[in-house]
Amino acid sequence: MKIKKIGNIGLLSVPDSKFKNFKVALSFATLRGKEYATKNSLLLKVLLSGCEKYPTKKDINIALKKLYGSSISAANVKVRFNLCPKIEIDALCDKYCGENLLTKVFELISEIIFKPLVKNNAFDSEIFERERGVLASDIAGVINDKRQYALLKCLEITCGDDPYGATGVGDLEVLKTVSPESLYEHYKYIIKNTAVTVTAVGSFDEEALIREVQNIQNKFGSGKISDGDILKASAVAEEVKEKSDITQGKLVMAFTTDVGVSGDDTGESVLNGLFGGGVSSKLFNIVREKMSLCYYASSSYDKNKGIILAQAGIDFENYEKTTKAILDQLTDIQNGNFTDEEFENVKKGLINNAVSAADDIDLVAGYYNGVALDDEITTLPELAEKYGKVKREQIIKLSRLIKLKTTYFLCGGGAGIDE
């Protein structure tokens, strides 16, 4: 599957009549980094707080209720090497309401995006200050979530100067420097200088969707999709310990894989599943269950940077034992010390996830929004098929490319992050 190009807009259309609703998302591909993350997050909050036709959140909600209880949401989504502010509306399909809701959804999105509350080249100051306070609380919430904080901190250390390591929520210090005027300038930049994508999933008329996209195609400028490369292994792995006023340690280990966005990563996904990606994994069954070294143990794979992040919640005194145990599980995979049953269970789990996701419109939308900037779109059925073709020998070969890059440990003995 490929993206359709309509003017300056990329359209990813995934119609499926089994659903009673549809989701339409409009997103903009900006660069990554603290400044973009902060301004994107704040801009989304300001846009959803009111526009010329619907000047308050209450007015927007009333408009949504008139669309048979439609809902609107916004998120700053990491897609490939880009940070994409996204606005999405979920609505009932036309045949269940007897109206053309698709057109009305695009009318509402257009009002919100193209006619915000602006005066003297600045966003409404009252809305701006209120939403800046909300975003500050959101950022503080990420910092105070110790497990999430440790994961983000390890990624930041691992990426170094690469803006890929910046959180998508935003940065408090950057937030202090943003003004109603500078945010409006950022808004104009996004409208005229970024790659725009419309993603639609669910039950809708595809020809009608194309017409709606054609109606707004000239309102956007054009921009390029950011590109990048995977992280390379280091000669010596970095170890970082940070003290905080906590009672349970948070361990995160970052590994480079030498496999990334430019290639087929299904083998790496299966490898991650065997390592720590689910209940059939070695980290869960051995490090957590058999050895009882941690309260949780898992791993995740980031195909864009070719990184595997293993994480565990542990007692402070189990730091050395747990890091060794995690590395031992990787060594076992590299040596082929896993059964065919373990391997097949991991593949079955990933296949089932892909198949079952196709029956949940939220998961369908999340998946296709996440791959919307790929040159070639792998559909969910194709993804399930690819998982089934991964071979045992392929996993062993891929695992031998993995190198430890960073070990980060958030431990006790300090203050600054709430329990």
Is residue 404 within 8 Å of 310, Cβ to Cβ? no
Residues 312 and 405 in one domain: yes
333 domain-assigned: yes
Beta-strand runs (E) in 47-191: 71-79, 82-92
pLDDT bucket at 233, cuts 50 / 70 / 90: confident
For 89-121, the pLDDT digits (tens) are: 999 998 899 889 999 999 999 999 999 999 999
pLDDT at residue 175 greater than cutoff 50: yes
Residues 186 and 320 in one domain: no
Select from 168, 185, 219 the last residue of a domain.
219
| Residue 76 DSSP SS3 | strand
Residue 263: what pLDDT? 57
Q: What is the CATH number of the domain that holds 407?
A: 3.30.830.10
Residues 206 and 284 in one domain: no
Residue 29: what pLDDT? 95
Residue 227: what pLDDT? 79
Please give the Cα distance from 366 to 358 (Å, whole number).
11
Residues 146 and 209 in one domain: yes
Our count of domains for the chain comes to: 2
Select from 184, 219, 254 the last residue of a domain.
219
Residues 268 and 209 in one domain: no
Residues 253 and 395 in one domain: yes
230 domain-assigned: no
Average pLDDT over residues 388-407: 96
Residues 51 and 200 in one domain: yes
Residue 414: what pLDDT? 59
The pLDDT mean for the chain works out to: 94
Is residue 396 within 8 Å of 336, Cβ to Cβ? yes
Cα 213 from chain centroid?
A: 25
pLDDT at residue 209 greater than cutoff 50: yes
CB neighbour class for 248 (10 Å; exposed up to 12, middle 13-18, buried from 19): middle
416 domain-assigned: no
Residues 184 and 244 in one domain: no
Please give the Cα distance from 122 to 350 (Å, whole number).
48
For 119-154, the pLDDT digits (tens) are: 999 999 999 999 999 999 999 998 889 999 999 999
Report H helices in 194-312: 206-216, 266-275, 282
For 24-52, the pLDDT digits (tens) are: 999 999 999 999 999 999 999 999 999 99
Residue 258: what pLDDT? 80
224 domain-assigned: no
For 328-356, the pLDDT digits (tens) are: 999 999 999 999 999 999 999 999 999 99
Report the candidate in 105, 108, 104 with the shortest Cα–Cα distance to residue 47: 108
Is residue 364 within 8 Å of 380, Cβ to Cβ? yes
H or E segment to which residue 4 belongs? strand 4-6
Residue type for position 113: I
Neighbours of 414 (CB within 10 A): 12
Residue 225: what pLDDT? 87
Please give the Cα distance from 175 to 195 (Å, whole number).
24
Range(s) of the domain holding residue 61? 4-219
Residues 153 and 212 in one domain: yes
404 domain-assigned: yes
Residue 229: what pLDDT? 74
| Residue 302 DSSP SS3 | strand
Report the candidate in 248, 216, 182 with the shortest Cα–Cα distance to residue 109: 216
**What phi, psi does 2 have (nearest 5°)?**
-125, 155
229 domain-assigned: no
pLDDT at residue 87 greater than cutoff 50: yes
> Which residue in the block uniquely carries the two structure tokens 């669910």?
202
Is residue 123 within 8 Å of 179, Cβ to Cβ? no
163 domain-assigned: yes
For 398-410, the pLDDT digits (tens) are: 999 999 999 999 9
pLDDT at residue 415 greater than cutoff 50: no
Average pLDDT over residues 163-192: 95
For 239-262, the pLDDT digits (tens) are: 999 999 999 999 999 999 887 544
Please give the Cα distance from 14 to 351 (Å, whole number).
20
Please give the Cα distance from 312 to 297 (Å, whole number).
4
Average pLDDT over residues 152-157: 95
Residues 54 and 112 in one domain: yes
Tokens representing 209 are 């969707």
Residues 67 and 213 in one domain: yes
231 domain-assigned: no
Tokens representing 249 are 């340690």
Residue 116: what pLDDT? 97
Residues 104 and 160 in one domain: yes
